[in-house]
């Protein structure tokens, strides 16, 4: 008998997952090649052109013992099928039909032979074939739409979804969300790993598990990648942390090409032995990927006939992750960098209000370098679109740093949009004991995954006693559970009060921390520096309190990681609490400390050595010489010295500009080459930064520019644009950099917002010059628009004129010359 029909199947499937071993099919592609399909052909077209092949392949796998088959739809999305003679719908409808036909054939066989068997049809989703922004150009939303289009076509006709062969966690997030938001199908999600144990985009197995379990998949694992032997360490890492059923589908080894034919180097017997090993280790489902055949599946079942099914059971851990790596909370002390928060920071506030995100990014990089493990991100500045800025900052940060982020906003709308675009599983800051806040925030955490920070405050404010704070924490944990959020996804903030105002508060906070850890079994977080407000020598109070809090059980201190003394307290605590085994990290970080008893603080010898070496190697410390030798590291100090005797404007006109002219001439003559030119430009830019601050504070802002720069839509090669930016800035131009792959409408709205004096566009390839033309056309519709200058590898003066640009510049120096004649020329006349 072969049972199961309709929506019942997905209920049965959910019941079976993790309760009995599910057997999936083997490869489709290599089976098609064996039947005559050529490399480079779209295998999905075979659903229509060679229906018989597909039904046979499915039926053979079912007969060999598989109970779950995958539709032949790995690449059945709008991008892969762009050049196909068939539509997405035609391909998917045919694929589902073929799968059902094969199951029907198996049903008849089982009836004939008196076999009791349930079969399931899984819709197979694979990568879209384009990498998502920010590294690629495909937007998260477009990726989501493409997956949703597929899911809509099968939501009533298959029993489950298996997402496979994914390398990019961001893409698999789009796919899982599309399945969950467009169907009620069980969803399994597999990523593919290479020989170094990470996916091809750099994600670790632990980070993948963290992300996928946060998104609420029904099972997860690994497919394709390598042969079974090479997968052993990856599977072990997944099994060590996964709480959901684990599926493994290895290749039959690596492909070997001989005489235009492909074969694989792992034998049927070898494959089956490894699968038995995986089942013994606790996986819940297996199948085969590239190169496997029905014989592989049959051999596995033969090998497994005496192997009991004992899936691995793990306790849930508190983990967050970014695009590549995850951070576990509750093991070693996790430092949360506090500096991306404009509260009380005038510079950051201004940078956010004026959209100078570079300053935000440098702040993040500095914290990462200083040893932070996660970064708090708060962009709450009056007058800006907080949700828009938050998503932009998150995307920008995730392009350049690996750390998980803590999304910090009091507006649930901001949290929702940020969690959706976040690549990984974030910390969410925060909920508290107020019912309305929990109702708004918990569904977001449930939907996207996230570790939620729970503040022990409610409608009645922060209670004085530890008892009352623990009670609030308990209530929040209970409410979270009613949303399906485990307490491992909650971190409690028992709240630090100012010791100068409420002196008893410090001990109450620490008592609450201790009890939250011990009685509730939940991890804790505290913003440390609040303790010392209003007292002299705040660092001393901060350090002491941090040490006390760590001993009370604080897992995540929110601090300034650039404060080496505070970081030192953590290093020392890790030694004394036996977390830093053999004091390895402590010795590495502090072996060179010099204890300066007089100062009462130690000095980082590394930094001192660097400072001396950089100071000593330069003899001529005039501003001109420092520009020419590209000393951005020490030029700021030289400028400050010079400011004692000179006006900022005269430093610019008499020292900086002549030095830059000289450097420009040397470059044109070939006496110096590109890296030297850029170093000089960066030094001059640093000098301008110092001078501008002085000019602004004196209220004599001159302001050259702004110049708007963008690499056009579709183009990700922006190195030329970046060089132009630095060189323009070195001449004191204010530059608004829109980045790369910038859509026309974004350039237009920036042009309207900033009213630039010049707009520079870059494009590398002939394919992207067309979008440059489109952008220029749109800009020319703006009344009184400034001139547009273009540059890029394939451009020439003729092409530039042809697409409607006002100027063409062959390089950064020429761009500066044109900008000077257009902008400074005028402003100099006015002086």
Partner 1 sequence: MDIKNETLHYLGYTGQSLTDEEDRRIDEAIAEVIEVARPMTVHRVFPLSREEKRLSVPAELDLNYSSLHELLADAGDVLILAATLGLELDRRLRYYARIDASRLVIMDAAASALVERVCDKLQEALPFDSYTFRFSPGYGDVPLLLQKQIVRVLETQKRIGMTLTRSLLMVPQKSITGIVGIGGASKKRSCMGCALFENCEFRKRGTVCYATKEQMPE
Nearer to partner 1, 154 or 763 (CB): 763
Nearer to partner 1, 3 or 810 (CB): 810
Stretch that binds partner 1, among 145-153, 487-495, 509-517, 677-685 (CB under 8 A): 677-685
Stretch that binds partner 1, among 39-47, 146-154, 508-516, 533-541 (CB under 8 A): 39-47
Which structure tokens are listed for 660? 């830059």
Q: Among 35, 33, 31, which residue's Cα sits nearest to residue 60? A: 31
User: What is the closest distance, in whole angstroms, from the C-beta atom of residue 231 to partner 1 in the complex?
Assistant: 15
- Out of 629, 711, 762, 775, which residue is the one contacting partner 1 (CB under 8 A)? 629
State how far Cα 295 lies from the chain centre.
40
Q: By CB under 8 A, how many residues form the interface with partner 1?
A: 68
- Out of 768, 775, 815, 824, which residue is the one contacting partner 1 (CB under 8 A)? 768
Between strands 318-321 and 326-329, the pairing is antiparallel
**Binding of partner 1 by 137 (CB under 8 A):** yes
- Out of 11, 674, 752, 817, which residue is the one contacting partner 1 (CB under 8 A)? 674
- Out of 265, 436, 596, 796, which residue is the one contacting partner 1 (CB under 8 A)? 796
Q: What distance in Å separates the CA atoms of residue 249 and residue 242, rounded to the nearest whole number?
A: 17
- Out of 138, 209, 512, 751, which residue is the one contacting partner 1 (CB under 8 A)? 138
Q: Which of residues 800-819 bind partner 1 (CB under 8 A)?
A: 810
Nearer to partner 1, 48 or 444 (CB): 48
Stretch that binds partner 1, among 112-120, 297-305, 583-591, 760-768 (CB under 8 A): 760-768
Q: Which of residues 432-461 bind partner 1 (CB under 8 A)?
A: none
Q: Which of residues 354-413 bind partner 1 (CB under 8 A)?
A: 358, 361-362, 365, 399-401
User: What is the closest distance, in whole angstroms, from the C-beta atom of residue 272 to partner 1 in the complex?
Assistant: 24
Residue 584's alpha-carbon distances to 329, 431, 577, in angstroms, are: 20, 37, 13
Nearer to partner 1, 281 or 768 (CB): 768
Q: What distance in Å separates the CA atoms of residue 68 and residue 73, rounded to the nearest whole number?
A: 15
- Out of 240, 657, 716, 778, which residue is the one contacting partner 1 (CB under 8 A)? 716
Q: What distance in Å separates the CA atoms of residue 16 and residue 307, rounded to the nearest whole number?
A: 18
Nearer to partner 1, 365 or 594 (CB): 365
Nearer to partner 1, 144 or 573 (CB): 144
User: What is the closest distance, in whole angstroms, from the C-beta atom of residue 725 to partner 1 in the complex?
Assistant: 8
Stretch that binds partner 1, among 62-70, 639-647, 668-676, 699-707 (CB under 8 A): 668-676
Nearer to partner 1, 38 or 501 (CB): 38
User: What is the closest distance, in whole angstroms, from the C-beta atom of residue 265 to partner 1 in the complex?
Assistant: 15
Q: Which of residues 599-628 bind partner 1 (CB under 8 A)?
A: 617
Instruction: Give ∠ CA 461-466-472 in degrees, rounded to 5.
Output: 50
Stretch that binds partner 1, among 335-343, 416-424, 691-699, 787-795 (CB under 8 A): 787-795
**Binding of partner 1 by 325 (CB under 8 A):** no
DSSP sequence for 163-186 = EEEE--HHHHHHHHHHHHHH----
Q: What distance in Å separates the CA atoms of residue 241 and residue 214, rounded to the nearest whole number?
A: 13
**Binding of partner 1 by 830 (CB under 8 A):** no
**Binding of partner 1 by 265 (CB under 8 A):** no
Q: What distance in Å separates the CA atoms of residue 769 and residue 787, rounded to the nearest whole number?
A: 18
User: What is the closest distance, in whole angstroms, from the C-beta atom of residue 766 to partner 1 in the complex?
Assistant: 6
User: What is the closest distance, in whole angstroms, from the C-beta atom of residue 215 to partner 1 in the complex?
Assistant: 22
Question: In this structure, are residues 455 and 493 in contact, taking their beta carbons and an 8 Å threshold?
Answer: yes
Q: What distance in Å separates the CA atoms of residue 736 and residue 723, rounded to the nearest whole number?
A: 14
Q: What distance in Å separates the CA atoms of residue 495 and residue 364, rounded to the nearest whole number?
A: 25
Q: What distance in Å separates the CA atoms of residue 388 and residue 395, rounded to the nearest whole number?
A: 11
Question: In this structure, are residues 22 and 284 in contact, taking their beta carbons and an 8 Å threshold?
Answer: yes
Name, in order, each residue with C-beta under 8 angstroms of 421's C-beta and a sequence gap of 6 or more.
140, 391, 394, 395
User: What is the closest distance, in whole angstroms, from the C-beta atom of residue 392 to partner 1 in the complex?
Assistant: 14
- Out of 717, 774, 814, 820, which residue is the one contacting partner 1 (CB under 8 A)? 717
Question: In this structure, are residues 444 and 416 in contact, taking their beta carbons and an 8 Å threshold?
Answer: yes
DSSP 193: B
**Binding of partner 1 by 766 (CB under 8 A):** yes
- Out of 23, 734, 738, 764, which residue is the one contacting partner 1 (CB under 8 A)? 764
User: What is the closest distance, in whole angstroms, from the C-beta atom of residue 125 to partner 1 in the complex?
Assistant: 14
Nearer to partner 1, 130 or 692 (CB): 130
**Binding of partner 1 by 679 (CB under 8 A):** yes
3-state secondary structure 66-110: CCEEECCCCCCCCCHHHHCCCCHHHHHHHHHHHHHHHHHHHHHHH
- Out of 310, 535, 576, 793, which residue is the one contacting partner 1 (CB under 8 A)? 793
Nearer to partner 1, 131 or 209 (CB): 131
- Out of 256, 519, 794, 817, which residue is the one contacting partner 1 (CB under 8 A)? 794
Residue 374's H or E segment, with its range, is: strand 374-377
State how far Cα 230 lies from the chain centre.
27
Nearer to partner 1, 343 or 671 (CB): 671
**Binding of partner 1 by 256 (CB under 8 A):** no
User: What is the closest distance, in whole angstroms, from the C-beta atom of residue 135 to partner 1 in the complex?
Assistant: 5
- The separation between the first and the last C-alpha atoms of the chain, rounded to the nearest angstrom, is 94
CA dihedral 726, 730, 735, 740 (to 10 degrees): -10
Nearer to partner 1, 6 or 670 (CB): 670
Nearer to partner 1, 206 or 571 (CB): 206
Q: What distance in Å separates the CA atoms of residue 344 and residue 826, rounded to the nearest whole number?
A: 39
Q: Among 259, 312, 323, which residue's Cα sits nearest to residue 131? A: 323
Q: What distance in Å separates the CA atoms of residue 427 and residue 407, rounded to the nearest whole number?
A: 6
Question: In this structure, are residues 567 and 546 in contact, taking their beta carbons and an 8 Å threshold?
Answer: no
Nearer to partner 1, 131 or 431 (CB): 131
3-state secondary structure 463-500: CCCHHHHHHHHHHHHHHHHHCCCCHHHEEEECCCCCCC
Crossing angle for the helix pair 51-64 and 88-113, to the nearest 10 degrees: 40
DSSP 707: E
Q: Among 16, 115, 18, which residue's Cα sits nearest to residue 62? A: 115
What mask of x and - would describe binding to partner 1 in positions 184 to 213, judged by CB under 8 A?
--------x-x-x---xxx-----------
What mask of x and - would describe binding to partner 1 in positions 48 to 87, judged by CB under 8 A?
-----------------------------------x----
Between strands 2-3 and 117-118, the pairing is parallel
User: What is the closest distance, in whole angstroms, from the C-beta atom of residue 209 to partner 1 in the complex?
Assistant: 20
The Cβ-side half-sphere exposure at 511, using a 13 Å CA radius, reads 12
The Cβ-side half-sphere exposure at 162, using a 13 Å CA radius, reads 29
What mask of x and - would describe binding to partner 1 in positions 93 to 132, judged by CB under 8 A?
----------------------------------x-xxx-
What mask of x and - would describe binding to partner 1 in positions 547 to 586, judged by CB under 8 A?
----------------------------------------
Which residues make up the interface to partner 1 (CB under 8 A)?
Answer: 38-42, 83, 127, 129-131, 134-138, 165, 167, 192, 194, 196, 200-202, 224, 257, 260, 358, 361-362, 365, 399-401, 617, 629-630, 670-676, 678-679, 681-682, 714-719, 722-723, 725-726, 764-768, 771, 793-796, 810
């Amino acid at each position: 008998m072969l049972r199961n029909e309709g929506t019942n199947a997905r209920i049965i499937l959910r019941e079976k997952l993790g309760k009995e071993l599910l057997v999936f099919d083997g490869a489709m592609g290599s089976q098609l090649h064996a039947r005559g399909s050529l490399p480079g052909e779209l295998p999905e077209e075979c659903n229509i052109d060679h229906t018989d092949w597909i039904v046979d392949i499915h039926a053979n796998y079912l007969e060999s013992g598989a109970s779950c088959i995958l539709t032949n739809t790995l690449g059945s999305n709008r991008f892969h099928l762009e050049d196909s003679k068939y539509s997405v719908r035609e391909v998917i409808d045919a694929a589902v039909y073929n799968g059902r036909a094969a199951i029907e054939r198996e049903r008849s066989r089982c009836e004939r032979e008196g076999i009791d068997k349930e079969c399931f049809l899984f819709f197979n989703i694979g990568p879209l074939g384009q990498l998502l922004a920010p590294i690629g150009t495909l937007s998260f939303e477009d990726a989501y739409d493409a997956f949703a289009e597929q899911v809509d076509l099968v939501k009533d006709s298959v029993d489950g979804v298996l997402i496979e062969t994914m390398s990019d966690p961001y893409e698999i997030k789009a796919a899982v969300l599309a399945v969950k938001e467009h169907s009620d199908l069980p969803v399994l999600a597999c990523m593919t790993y290479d020989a170094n144990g990470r996916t091809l985009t750099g994600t670790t197995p632990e980070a993948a598990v963290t992300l996928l379990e946060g998104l609420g998949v029904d099972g997860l694992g690994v497919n394709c990648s390598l042969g079974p032997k090479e997968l052993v360490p990856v599977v072990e890492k997944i099994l060590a942390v996964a709480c959901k059923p684990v599926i493994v589908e290895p290749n039959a080894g690596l492909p070997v090409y001989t005489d235009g034919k492909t074969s694989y180097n792992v034998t049927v017997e070898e494959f089956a032995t490894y699968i038995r090993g995986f089942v013994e280790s606790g996986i819940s489902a297996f199948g085969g990927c590239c190169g496997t055949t029905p014989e592989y599946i049959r051999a596995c079942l033969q090998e497994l006939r005496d192997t009991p099914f004992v899936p691995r059971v793990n306790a849930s851990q508190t983990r967050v992750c970014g695009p590549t790596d995850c951070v576990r909370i509750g093991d070693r002390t996790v430092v949360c960098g506090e500096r991306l928060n404009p509260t009380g920071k005038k510079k950051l506030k201004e940078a956010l209000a004026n959209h100078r995100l570079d300053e935000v990014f440098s702040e993040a990089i500095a914290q990462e370098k200083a040893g932070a493990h996660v970064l708090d991100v708060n962009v709450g500045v009056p007058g800006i679109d907080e949700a828009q800025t938050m998503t932009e900052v998150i995307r920008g940060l995730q392009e350049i740093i690996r750390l998980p982020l803590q999304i910090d906003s009091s507006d649930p709308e901001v949290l929702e949009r940020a969690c959706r675009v976040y690549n990984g599983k974030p910390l969410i800051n925060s909920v508290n004991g107020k019912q309305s806040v929990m109702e708004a925030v918990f569904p977001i955490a449930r939907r996207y995954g996230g570790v939620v920070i729970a503040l022990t405050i409610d409608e009645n404010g922060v209670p004085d006693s530890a008892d009352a704070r623990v009670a609030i924490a308990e209530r929040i944990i209970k409410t979270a559970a009613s949303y399906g959020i485990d307490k491992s996804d909650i971190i409690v903030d028992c709240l630090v009060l100012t010791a100068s105002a409420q002196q008893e508060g410090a001990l109450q906070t620490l008592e609450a921390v201790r009890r939250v850890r011990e009685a509730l079994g939940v991890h804790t977080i505290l913003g440390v520096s609040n303790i010392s407000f209003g007292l002299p020598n705040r660092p001393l109070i901060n350090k002491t309190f941090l040490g006390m809090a760590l001993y009370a059980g604080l897992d995540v201190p929110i601090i300034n990681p650039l404060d080496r003394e505070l970081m030192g307290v953590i290093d020392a605590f890790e030694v004394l609490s036996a977390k830093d085994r053999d004091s390895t990290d402590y010795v590495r970080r502090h072996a060179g400390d010099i204890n300066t008893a007089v100062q009462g603080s130690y000095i980082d010898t590394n930094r001192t050595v660097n400072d001396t070496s950089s100071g000593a190697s330069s003899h001529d410390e005039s501003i001109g010489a420092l520009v020419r030798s590209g000393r951005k590291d020490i030029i700021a100090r030289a400028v400050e010295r010079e400011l004692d005797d000179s006006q900022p404007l005269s430093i610019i006109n008499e020292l900086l500009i002549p030095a830059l002219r000289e450097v420009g001439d040397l470059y044109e003559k070939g006496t110096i080459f590109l890296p030297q030119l850029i170093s000089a430009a960066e030094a001059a830019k640093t000098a301008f930064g110092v001078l501008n601050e002085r000019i602004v504070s004196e209220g004599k802002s001159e302001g050259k520019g702004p110049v708007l720069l963008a690499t056009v839509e579709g183009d990700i090669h922006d190195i030329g644009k970046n060089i132009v930016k630095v060189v323009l800035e070195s001449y004191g131009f204010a530059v608004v950099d829109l980045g790369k792959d910038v859509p026309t409408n974004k350039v237009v709205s920036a042009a309207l917002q900033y009213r630039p004096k010049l707009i520079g566009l870059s494009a590398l390839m002939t394919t992207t010059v067309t979008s440059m033309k489109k952008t220029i056309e749109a800009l020319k519709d703006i009344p009184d628009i400034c001139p547009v200058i273009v540059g890029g590898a394939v451009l020439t003066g003729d092409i530039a004129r042809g697409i409607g640009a006002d100027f063409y510049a062959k390089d950064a120096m020429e761009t500066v010359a044109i900008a000077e004649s257009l902008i400074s020329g005028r402003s100099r006349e006015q002086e």
